[in-house]
Amino acid sequence: MTERFTGSFTQQEPIPDEGIDAAIAVMRGGRLHRYNTVPGEVAETVLLEQEFAASVGSAYCLAVASGGYAIGTALRACGVKPGDKVLTNAFTLAPVPGAVAGVGAVPVFVGVTEDLVIDLDDLAAKLDQASVLLLSHMRGHLCDMDALMAMCDAADVAVVEDCAHTMGAAWNGKPSGTFGRFGCFSTQTYKHINSGEGGLLISDDAEGMARATMLSGSYMLYTSHAAGPPPEAFAQLRYETPNISGRMDNLRAAILRPQLRDLATQASRWNARYAVVEDGLRDVPGLTLVPRTASESYVASSFQFLLLDWSPEAIADVQARCAARGVELKWFGGAEPVGFTSRYDSWRYAPAEAMPASDRILTGIMDMRLPLTFSEDDCALIARIIRAEVSAVWQAAA
Ligand SMILES: *Cc1c(COP(=O)(O)O)cnc(C)c1O
């Protein structure tokens, strides 16, 4: 009998009851706007900011409308101007170069290695082209952050971390998002905590965070930002910084607070599922697993493997055969952008030099989500299906 998987790769878990109750309380009060409080009340948004800052050990946190908005705000707060170049990953998702384009700047793409992290040699070669690196920890893979920060600090390049896939992750015990000048997180449905849309920005830099707070649309109400910088930091900036409205509301914050408390538990559930898939795909001829180092503590909400140096036809065949058995693999190597998947040369608004070494990797990257609605048995079944179909196509080509 041919096994088939029938689960949904896009079905998330429900919002925890505690979050639903907190959301209902906010709605009953009618005070959904973060600055709409009664005397003595601390807005849910402020509580979320305090709790998130404490969870990663950052001085400041600002809740905003989306992860992409957090990135754009961080770039602006770093002083990126129209026409400036910003270094960023060739392997990432469209909102990352989009955030660069959103401030009128021009992305300079840096290559990807077989470990699916930014290529530090390529970065070294391009470091003199920009004063900001927007570093995307794409699919939760962390590069050697000590080496990267040493290079960027020496070149006086500010680092903005895109942590859309690394909320809860760390490098040598230091939380992702606390290495660069800013760390940007998303609370969109497909990330690690779910408020539909939403973003969080962290920093230890009082001036940068004051700028970000004004940019996000604080008006002159910044003193209510208990997880923000002190009022002195706003003394001049409040006159000079435009309001580019993009706040988070209390309803989303209320939904997120209980999920943040559960993040470590959820991370271990994700990693248990990842380990089952990883074990099921060991020693498949032609299939390369992505190594993880002991320095990296990850939250594996998705799984990647490589079909390195396979022909596009053979990869498309694997994808079709897995799909026929209910396993949806995303392919970053496809010539046309599909769904959430696109590549640096699909973003035609941005100049892209040919990157043959990265093209070789991108062509082979297969990707799938591992939602927590999958059981570990589901994950074992998914691995058996991929194993069988990759092996069948590999043997036919041999
Ligand atoms: C989702 C995502 C973003 C943007 O987050 P939104 O909240 O959807 O704006 C940025 N970078 C990466 C890698 C993402 O996956």
**Quick one: which atom of ligand 1 is closest to the CA of 68?**
9
Give 264-320 as a DSSP string: HHHHHHHHHHHHHHHHHTTT-TT-EEPP--TTEE---SEEEEE-TT--HHHHHHHHH
| Residues at CB less than 6 angstroms from ligand 1 | 66-68, 92-93, 95-96, 136, 138, 162, 164-165, 186, 188, 199
CA of 93 to the centre of ligand 1 (A): 7
Q: How far is the CA of 297 from the centre of ligand 1 (A)?
A: 20
Summarize pLDDT for 175-234 with one digit per residue, the tens.
999 999 999 999 999 999 999 999 999 999 999 999 999 999 999 999 999 999 999 999
pLDDT digits (tens, 9 = 90+) for 316-356: 999 999 999 999 999 988 878 888 888 888 898 998 889 99
* pTM for the whole structure: 0.98
Q: How far is the CA of 67 from the centre of ligand 1 (A)?
A: 5
Torsion-angle region of 57 (φ positive above 0: left; ψ -120 to 50: alpha; else: beta): left
Query: Which are the contacts of 317, defined by CB distance < 8 A and separation ≥ 6?
Result: 393
Q: How far apart are CA 168 and CA 239, in angstroms?
A: 36
Residue reference for tokens 């943040």? 260
Atom of ligand 1 nearest to the CA of 198: 7
C-alpha 40 to ligand 1 mean position (Å): 35
In 3D space, the residue among 138, 141, 139, 396 whose CA is nearest the CA of residue 286 turns out to be: 396
pLDDT at 340: 83
pLDDT at position 345 is: 87
- d(CA 226, CA 46) in angstroms, rounded, equals 6
CB 225 within 8 A of CB 218: yes
Residue closest via CA to ligand 1's atom 1 equals 164
pLDDT at 264: 98
- Which residues in the chain show pLDDT less than 50? none
Q: Tell me, what's the pLDDT at 351?
A: 87
Ligand 1 atom showing the smallest separation from residue 71 Cα: 10
Q: Tell me, what's the pLDDT at 206?
A: 98
**Residue 352 confidence (pLDDT):** 82
pLDDT confidence of residue 353: 87
CB-count burial class (<10 Å; 0-12, 13-18, 19+) for 346 = middle
